[in-house]
Structure 1
């Protein structure tokens, strides 16, 4: 199983070249939180958005706390494998899950994972936001959404859209786009963004709604075309790319926060200690720079109770989408 061991030696080296911070109050929080290796369990495969994010957070956490951090990939079942593993471990803060919020607010609505996302899991901290973008094969003759729709309509029944997992906004957005544009695209799910993007780049699958984190480098290198941003406002990383709202698709607004979640059985005081430590990391200018460089938008810290309420509201919003668009697991 792929793992990344962030050792004390590596942490010190990283501190010298990247973070250059003094532990200050964080060291006290970290020492009170854990005196053993901390395991960050990732819901996605190596190379995916959650994996990239977890490794950045793991580096920062090891650097600033001096504690050993292990990043461990347990992909599959829309994040349920990682979450159920975490729930099987003691709720002592030594095993946490790093994920996008969609594993709580989207996937469970169509893919039952054997846990209740609103009762069994507690969001601890959100450190960044992932932006969704409509990308396509560079072989497509279209250069904008209007031309893309016209091209896809011209060959009915011949095309599909990829998603990085069933039950995620990648599927939701693809189905909504297909219906609202009057297309008949078939959903083709993949186990993560990397394999899906391989087929999109090759032209086997023409389009996909993907996270900017995994698509940005491919867009910059010309290996993917980008048609629109699925958010309320333009991305500062793609300022010249219009939003799907601007293009006539106001319902296509999707974006997940990236953060850390724990078992709801964890003691409230421990949740607050971990939140404080992660919030300190999230405020680091160096980490913010690394997040931006990897396609994430840093966000302001949210208290644990407000984060939990935001998860519930997004879950209810997505439940409405599932019902309205009759979204079902393939």
Structure 2
């Protein structure tokens, strides 16, 4: 049976290694590689990308019969991980696991030294992350209307957290502040976990966060959830209204989670890796674990559709950055 060694449990190790025994699918993947596969994560341990990478990495190791190494290289809005990947051969042995926002949001306000539309190629999108407006349990408000009234009562005294500057977490917070007539300051953090610590403690009242990292704290009552930043309600939070329902139709954010690689990778290799990842993402056991961790599984999208979709989202966010005058702190 495969086993997964958590990086947090093996602090002396340089990375986490997944060891797997070959399965029937390994025959199909054998022509991809017979060497260890490295999945570099753009976020810190415990964040959405990290949770997703370990889940997918474990399944990929089992299905391919290869060793999969998961390594966190957070910082610079994902640029550290991506630039490291680009420094390696484009042979499918080193790829990046991330949310699509490292390509469609962050580069608009934080120059990372790579072109998100030219230097990298989306290989597979395997799940979708839902964005939610969460707040401290100490807040007296129980809904968005009450929250706005409370925050307006003390102008200039409150802030909102984000899991990184230049992400939808910042975009949504600024948009909400302006559209609701608030005066909230932006406080960026290096990932969701440290931001949520301050939100839970009441040092910062609210944050737009991914459901993946907030879900357990919502369920335990450590966080209040006010709304979902989407047009349709989340099947995981069916009783929570959307920002669209509440009169904020522009507050619609959701990133896919997946794997990207160098654009220099040969097209035939891209297709082989895509097929392997698509197979993993379609496994019932993987879908169940994605749901359990706050992700919504999505249907496989061909590689030739992912690139144009990234460009379309990038251009949409560029419009938001210009309209709301969003700048790096």
Same-fold call, TM cutoff 0.5: yes
TM-score (norm 1): 0.95
Taking the TM superposition and a 5 Å limit, the aligned residue runs for 1:105-144 are 105-144=104-143
Spell out structure 1 runs of 4+ moving beyond 2 A: none
Cα distance in 2 for residues equivalent to 1:263 and 1:102: 17
Other-structure match for 1:156: 155
Other-structure match for 1:94: 93
Cα distance in 2 for residues equivalent to 1:263 and 1:230: 31
After superposition, the C-alpha distances for 1:109-145 in whole angstroms (9 at most, x for unaligned) are 0000000000000000000000000000000000000
After superposition, the C-alpha distances for 1:151-201 in whole angstroms (9 at most, x for unaligned) are 000000000000000000000000000000000100000000000000000
- Normalized per residue, the structure richer in helix is 1
Asked whether the equivalents of residues 135 and 210 of structure 1 are also in contact (C-alpha less than 8 Å), the reply is: yes
Q: How far apart are 1:66 and its partner, in Å?
A: 1.0
Q: How far apart are 1:2 and its partner, in Å?
A: 5.8
Secondary structure, in 3 states, of the residue corresponding to 1:47? Answer: coil
After superposition, the C-alpha distances for 1:192-244 in whole angstroms (9 at most, x for unaligned) are 00000000000000000000000000000000000000011000000000000
After superposition, the C-alpha distances for 1:288-316 in whole angstroms (9 at most, x for unaligned) are 00000000000000000101111000000
Other-structure match for 1:303: 302
Other-structure match for 1:5: 17
Asked whether the equivalents of residues 233 and 243 of structure 1 are also in contact (C-alpha less than 8 Å), the reply is: yes
Cα distance in 2 for residues equivalent to 1:209 and 1:28: 43
Secondary structure, in 3 states, of the residue corresponding to 1:82? Answer: helix
Number of residues paired by the alignment? 317
Unaligned runs of 5+ in 2: 1-12
TM-score (norm 2): 0.95
The verdict on how the C-alpha distance between 1:2 and 1:151 changes in structure 2, with shifts beyond 3 A counting, is farther
Asked whether the equivalents of residues 161 and 174 of structure 1 are also in contact (C-alpha less than 8 Å), the reply is: yes
Other-structure match for 1:19: none
User: Are positions 1:253 and 2:265 aligned together?
Assistant: no
After superposition, the C-alpha distances for 1:21-71 in whole angstroms (9 at most, x for unaligned) are x944x3233211111000000000000000000000010001111100000
Cα distance in 2 for residues equivalent to 1:29 and 1:264: 23
Asked whether the equivalents of residues 200 and 207 of structure 1 are also in contact (C-alpha less than 8 Å), the reply is: yes
Unaligned runs of 5+ in 1: 13-21
Cα distance in 2 for residues equivalent to 1:30 and 1:293: 28
Other-structure match for 2:290: 291
Other-structure match for 2:31: 32
